[in-house]
Chain A
Amino acid sequence: MREVSRGTLVIDVERCKGCELCIPACPPGVLTMSEQGNKMGYLYPELSPGCTGCTACQQVCPDFVFEVYKYKKAVPTSIDNPETT
């Protein structure tokens, strides 16, 4: 696992149609598909720590579910990080 997250996402999971195009598109490989579906029954991507904020997922997404943020200062990916759940 990477030590810091340089960026993060807001994912609108209810609009996701589960096409999985973002999973291979993510260069650091921090997106994985969920095990539970959304309200429409589609699996959706979940973000693990280590995002670089490169916007590749936002570029390839046909359903516009990603919003990308870049941290001003890189955030450590330790467990007590308030950004992780």
Chain B
Amino acid sequence: MGVLCSYIVQKQKNWQREDISHELVYNAVEHCVMPQIKPLIIRRVAQTERDELVSSKCLEFSGVTQDQLRVRPCLRSNEPVPFIEAITQLRASYFSSTPTDKMYSVVGAAKALYDRLGDIGESSIDGDAFLDLWIYVIIKANIKDLATNLLFMIDYGNPQLACGEAGYYLTTLEAAVHFIASLSPETLQAPQGVMEFVVCEREYFSSLCSLPGSGLEMVASDTEVQGYQVAVIRDWALNRARYMTNV
């Protein structure tokens, strides 16, 4: 594909005496060619076992907190769904048809993350801090066939982007996937402050408990729990829609 693009760029230069961007040509050629051969390529780069491993890890650690992943306190988002824009943008990469478009989606997700950090006054962060957050976003996004899609981007994306910004964020995605694949409870930081809490609302949480990866466990109604401090969450207590507020 690269050779074909170079040929078109050179021909245009020789015949029309005008320069056209190699990247634009690459994109056009890719959109023309890739839909025809994508199923074949995907079969070729399929990483079925790795996909399952990464997906199962994302599911297992879906309840992970920013604290457990050692995200610096100043960079943490306390929204109900932290970094939702980045998560959404990253999920969109699955639906992009060409590897280069997928790379752009990955860059878009990184930009969404920076935008959110900008909102909390920390728009410029280093490699360590970025990776901490990026791992969090990827776990929460839990993208289908992530390992396969990653290899698809690396092997078939525009190679001219490899050393640039897109290449950087693709590499951080690769690094994060590698980290997630080997993630274990021991590698997580023990949460500071509240480590575990018991909610006395069986009916309210029963369906949520049955969801895999919810991080919630239903205990028998006659279980005696010890070592907990009694507390009330003010927002819950003031919410008339909730009929029980014990925690």
A binds B: no
**B residues lining the A interface (CB < 8 Å):** none
